Amino acid sequence: MKITINYSTYPYRIKKVLAGILMAGSLLTAGFLFYAVQQAGINREEASTLQQRIDRLIREMEAQKSSKSRESDPKKLEKKIALVNEVIQKKSFSWTGFLNDLEKAIPKNISIKKIEPRFTDQSVNLSGEALTLKDLTLLILQLEGTPRFSHIFLLDQKQSKGDRIEFLVHLNYKEKGENAGS
């Protein structure tokens, strides 16, 4: 038994479509390859620039280590220590705990617009609006009743449009691990 394939009965149009699909796939592959090569070049340039910066910073740090005069200046050292302490305080501040405590203390008819933390003395400025002066008074009383808030001062209040009271409150916030007496 002999198997014969008659190529003349095979539709010629399908061959053209397949050739077109293969050509389009080849062009897409070539385009992607071109893009990948370009991105690799850009990444190499960025890596080179970053490596140069790292090398420069390492040289500067080594120069600072060898320089005794900079270490002997107590004012510069104190500034560096204060900066490092501030960064540590910012990173260790528990926003979740603070916002949970604040949410429990805020009565209805009060909207807080701005929260400004001051990490150096662990205080916070709250600005917002109250519908009435009675609501603002209730806010101050509830903040004073929360153990983690202390030294609560109403710094500013004024009547705004719509007979609302705009306010600015300053308070200190103590996190869980701190003493209540400090």
Q: Is 72 or 96 the better-scoring residue by pLDDT? A: 96
142 domain-assigned: yes
Grade residue 180 by pLDDT with cuts at 50, 70 and 90: very low
- Tell me if 48 is assigned to some domain: no
Residue 115, domain member (yes or no): yes
Range of the domain at 153: 94-173
- Say if pTM beats, i.e. exceeds, 0.75: no
- The answer to whether residue 12 sits within a structural domain is no
CATH code for the domain of 101: 3.30.1360.100
Distance CA 107, CA 109 (A): 7
Q: What's the pLDDT score for residue 176?
A: 64
Q: Is residue 132 part of a domain?
A: yes
- Say if residues 117 and 99 touch (Cβ distance below 8 Å): no
98 inside domain: yes
Percent of the chain at pLDDT above 70? 81
**Domains held by the chain: number:** 1
Q: How many CA atoms lie within 13 A of 47 on its CB side?
A: 6
pLDDT of residue 11: 64
- pLDDT-based confidence at residue 182 (cuts at 50, 70, 90): very low
Q: 181: pLDDT confidence band, cut at 50, 70 and 90? A: very low
DSSP string, 124-140: EEEEEEESSHHHHHHHH
What is the structure's pLDDT at 179? Answer: 46
Whether 68 shows a pLDDT value over 60: the answer reads no
Q: Is residue 72 part of a domain?
A: no
* Average pLDDT for 72-92: 69
Q: Mean pLDDT throughout 18-34?
A: 92
Q: What pLDDT sits at residue 10? A: 58
Residue 140 covered by a domain: yes
**Residue 132, token pair as written in the block:** 């009435």
